[in-house]
Structure 1
Amino acid sequence: MTSHEQTAGTAAGPPAAQARDVSKRYGATVALHSAGIAVQAGETHALVGRNGAGKSTLVSILTGLQRPDSGEIRFDGVPAPSLADRDAWRQRVACVYQKSTIIPTLTVAENLFLNRQAGRGVIDWRGLRRRAADLLAGYGVDVDPAALAGALTVEQRQLVEIARALSFGARFIVLDEPTAQLDAAAIDRLFDRMRELQSTGVTFLFISHHLQEVYEVCQRVTVLRDARHILTEPVDALSRDELVTAMTGETGRALAAGGTRPPVPATAPVVLDVRGLRLAGHYEGVDLTVRAGELVGLIGSGSSGKVALAETIAGLRRADAGTVTIAGNAPKPGRVPAALAAGLGYLPQDRHREGLVPLLSVAENATMPIAGRLGPAGIIAPARQQATAERMIRRYDIKTDGPHQPVSDLSGGNAQKVVLARALANDPKALVLVSPTAGVDVRSKASLLSAVDEAAAGGAGVLVVSDELDDLRSCERVLVMFHGRVIRDVPRGWTDADLVSAVEGMEQP
């Protein structure tokens, strides 16, 4: 970042938040090198970059979780408080993380005023709920203060976290991958709420790997690459290719390249066959087939039932009616081990809660489905497990210190690669992937999708369940779900506008 960019203010005053010449090292690893950012009051400013670019480190410094080795942090032109003064930091900045910090077993009101419940030592529960209702109403959040937070949707949890941050007095909010688990309608609502809050003087730092969202909601963008500041520019001054080039050092065209796959012959065996599947409140009358070597997409809004359908195929849910056949086998409904034994590989929507065991190593997570093969009589031989994991690390380009590194230490993109490696470990005949690139950077996305293409080329039938259009571009066809039904089967060659119109229910046959 140039000296001008690091000190830039406006005629209305200094930046709402500013980092100047910030450096941070962890041993031999340089996490940030003389990086910086200046976020103007009342704007939504994007922070983008590949995993490992330094975004998380910069955010941890901006939010007072870490002290930089050098450089300075300022809010509204005033030096940041000491790290020990947590109340002062809460009054200046808050971060709504991709992984929610809401405590699910507490009510919404208790979460909003955690450690602030009591006035004179005795908690006035009725008054607490009243204060919470006033706070939520003030920011237009339609949530019952008495409801358990664990019952909230992802969208509602995010809005509660934003309201909680604002209640401390913070006017600078960091949003870390806020749309990763939201459908299109919820994303639109979030963006509308952000614009409303901007008009009242709230400032946002928006972190996202979905570049289209940057163009939709942000005024300026800062790019980090290899721990360094690359550029800060108005969003409307950069094309998508220019932005991707700044993030990766390569052209967006090269990253997106990948010739069309040859069509799968009609004689190829069906490896996933769904007939008349129905689950009350989620979907009904669903039929679909996936042949060996075929990539089929499944898209729809959050209320379409697509994720519930994928979870039913994987045995996480039990359908009220209908059948699922995997590679000629009909596994017992509602049983995950039965689906896996029948030949299914599955990548769940939420890698944090459903895809990984964070305290276990990369090797233990990746080899879980084949643990019985890694030693005699079902006893795992450590050397065999390590060798198998090392092959997976090389094959899927997992950036890690080694097989024994805790999977919780990996970046989002590399953690997702471990989940995919595990799904493919058993050489599945059919593969169901839910949001395979959610929350990962451009390069990791390309690597993950390449691995999916490779699995299909090897003969697996793949069902890709995603709202991300880039995840679906290699598919032979895309099924569109709307209100629990498959309403269209769109062959390759679709335009973004065609598919989005169908997803939103604006174009039905």
Structure 2
Amino acid sequence: MSASATGAAVPVVDARGVGKRYGPTVALADVSLTVHPGESHALVGRNGAGKSTLVSILTGLSKTDTGAVYFGGEPAPSLSKQDAWKQRVACVYQHAMVIPELTVAENLFLNRQSGGRFAIGWSRLRRQSRELLDSWGVGVDVDTPAGELSVEDRQFVEIARALSYGARFIVLDEPTAQLDSQAIERLFERMRQMQDNGVTFLFISHHLHEVYEVCQAVTVLRDARHVLTAPVAEVGRAELVDAMTGEKGGLAVRDAASRDPLAEDAAEVLAVDGLSGDGFAGVSFRLHRGEVIGLAGSNASGKHQVAETVYGLRSPSAGTITLDGERMRPGDIPAALRAGIGCVPRDRHHEGLVLEHSIADNATLSILDRIGPGGIASPRTRHAKATRALADYDIVAAGAEQPVSDLSGGNQQKVVLARALASDPRVVVLINPTAGVDVKSKEALLAVVDRVRAEGKAVLIVSDELDDLRLSDRVLVLRAGRVVAEHRAGWSDGDLVADIEGVQLGD
């Protein structure tokens, strides 16, 4: 019986029994996904669960080995017909796919500029761009170079570009990873408006609270297989985590309030006094052995810049950083490393890893001067160090010589953490340490942080994730570049978020 005969709307996309292998690796096994018109459907699962492979099939980048995909009840086009795919589906990735040097208008109609022969009709191009953006409520100047846009506006431009082809099914792959809370709320409100106008979303996120805020249905993949599809309202958070991990109990994150308080005579390791720089001013704090301090705030609060200044990526305009009584040289990462500061940077892809190189290369970059004369270490020594790191940090890989580009996001982040700790630093600076990793990888990473704290290292952790901050003995809240509040271990989510957003509870 047809969908119309039963009164049910034809699914926007219907993947049936999809399977995909890459050599001996099973990337998807008999996976099905049905997304209905006008809904926001969450696709969740741990890194390596098969989400990326399924998205590549749904967007025409890969061909299924088994099963089939249907759009609006019709079989998906062949991979050679990319224009037909663009009319059905588009994916907006976490990392922008616009050309920074071109204007918004040029990006919107790239390779579709109007005009005769080889000429471009600039007036018409601008007019079409303004009409397109206005029709979807995107308030961006069409003459602005795309590289000057905020992350939020770039995403809206990419969505508008997809809609201009006729697609009404948009895959959003980790769209909130680089947005602050206010930008996330604007994104969600725009998604709701677009849903009311007939746009359907497949929403991929590691932030489960976002699934409950913006999605109507959820599908869980685990180990390349379909585990669960249900209305979001009918699935509790613990049940969802259990489905993702295959284990009971959900996310286990140790709260600093549950451990013994820091000893009063704990030695001071790091002193930050009157630190000012790009986006922050007058920041001061003390960090002791075995202590964890968290920095919280919006993306515009200055928290990331403070941490990057502490480990030498940025130079301050005023103030001092002192490590064990020795004043640090500003803006000097090698000096910070030699002094005993290890760091997990904000962006593992651009600042934390050399993706084309092996795990052994990446895990030993910070200690080459210690394991070989003149900074030249033998392959055997690097291999041994990396093999030890695989075991110590539970990195799932084929071996120490595997390129880090082949690893899942969680295992890549473990390599970054292993390198940060390889030099046995006295202070560890962690910036968004669990960004873009799955539930169990997050648990493993935070367990390592708790372990090194117990060994006596001092930890400065900056994160948008409240779970990451629960390890902190104290959380300093920054707003507009200044410390505005301090929360001791045992803080409530509501109180901390209220200070981050600058609101009074009960207002």
- With the length of structure 1 as denominator, give the TM-score of the two structures: 0.95
Query: 1:332/1:298 Cα in 2 relative to 1: closer, same or farther (>3 Å)?
Result: same
The answer as to 2:200 corresponding to 1:212 is: no
**Partner of residue 417, structure 2:** 420
TM-superposed deviation, 1:143: 2.3
Residue 257 of structure 1: CA displacement? Answer: 5.8
- For the pair 1:102 / 2:104, whether they are aligned, the reply is no
1:38 aligns with 2:34: yes
Whether the 8 Å contact between 2:251 and 2:440 is mirrored in structure 1 is no
Aligned-residue offset at 1:339: 1.8
CA distance in 1, matches of 2:126, 2:405: 36
Select 1:369's aligned residue among 358, 366, 389: 366
Q: CA deviation at 1:431?
A: 1.1
Q: Is the 8 Å Cα contact of residues 92 and 159 (structure 2) preserved in structure 1?
A: yes
RMSD: 1.9
Query: How many angstroms apart in 2 are the aligned matches of 1:182 and 1:329?
Result: 37
1:267 to 249, 265, 268: 265
Aligned to 1:383: 380
Q: 8 Å contact 1:240–1:252 — kept in the other structure?
A: no
Pairing 1:433-472 to 2, within 5 Å after superposition? 433-472=430-469
Residues 153 and 340 (structure 1 numbering): CA distance in 2 closer, same or farther, change over 3 Å?
farther
- 1:124 pairs with 2:121: yes
**Secondary structure of the residue that 1:61 maps to in structure 2?**
helix
Q: 1:323 to 1:507 in 2, by over 3 A?
A: farther
Is structure 2 residue 428 aligned with structure 1 residue 431? yes
Cα shift at 1:118: 4.6
CA distance in 2, matches of 1:418, 1:454: 16
Give the match for residue 312 of structure 2: 315
Q: Aligned in 2, Cα 1:365/1:10: closer, same or farther, shift over 3 Å?
A: farther
Match of 2:294 in 1: 297
> 1:78-116 deviations in whole A, cap 9, x for unaligned?
110000101000111111112222222322222222222
Counterpart pick for 1:148 among 141, 145, 150: 145
1:135 positional shift? 2.1
Equivalent AA in structure 1 for residue 95 of structure 2: K
1:197 offset after TM fit, Å? 0.6
Which of 40, 49, 55 does residue 53 from structure 1 map onto? 49
When normalised by structure 2's length, the TM-score is: 0.95
1: CA distance, partners of 2:88 / 2:121: 28
Aligned to 1:21: 17
Q: CA deviation at 1:8?
A: 12
Which of 147, 151, 155 pairs up with 1:158?
Answer: 155
User: Where does structure 2 lack aligned partners over 5 or more consecutive residues?
Assistant: none
What percentage of residue pairs aligned between the two structures are identical? 59
Q: 1:209 is aligned with what amino acid?
A: H
Moved over 4 A (4+): 7-10
C-alpha distance in 1 between matches for 2:415 and 2:446: 14
Residues 285 and 18 (structure 1), Cα distance of their counterparts in 2 relative to 1, 3 Å cut: same
Could you tell me how far 1:157 is from its partner in structure 2? 1.7
Q: Does 1:85 align with 2:81?
A: yes
Q: Which moved more, 1:240-249 or 1:328-337?
A: 328-337
Q: In structure 1, what is the Cα distance between the partners aligned to 2:414 and 2:7? A: 46
Aligned length: 502
- Alpha-carbon deviation of 1:253? 4.3
Asked whether the equivalents of residues 327 and 430 of structure 1 are also in contact (C-alpha less than 8 Å), the reply is: no
Alignment CA distance shift 1:500-1:15 (3 Å): same
* C-alpha distance in 2 between matches for 1:493 and 1:156: 37
State the match for 2:232 in structure 1. 235
Once residues 9 and 153 of structure 1 are traced to their aligned partners in structure 2, the CA distance between those partners, rounded to angstroms, is: 47
- Mark the CA change 1:477 to 1:66 in structure 2 (over 3 Å): closer, same or farther: same
1:361 CA displacement: 1.4
Specify the alignment match of 2:131 in structure 1: 134
Return the letter of the residue paired with 1:442: V
Report the 3-state secondary structure (helix = DSSP H, G, I; strand = E; otherwise coil) of the residue aligned with 2:260.
coil
SS of residue paired to 1:276:
strand
In structure 1, the gaps of 5 or more residues are: none
Superposition deviation, residue 133 in structure 1: 2.7
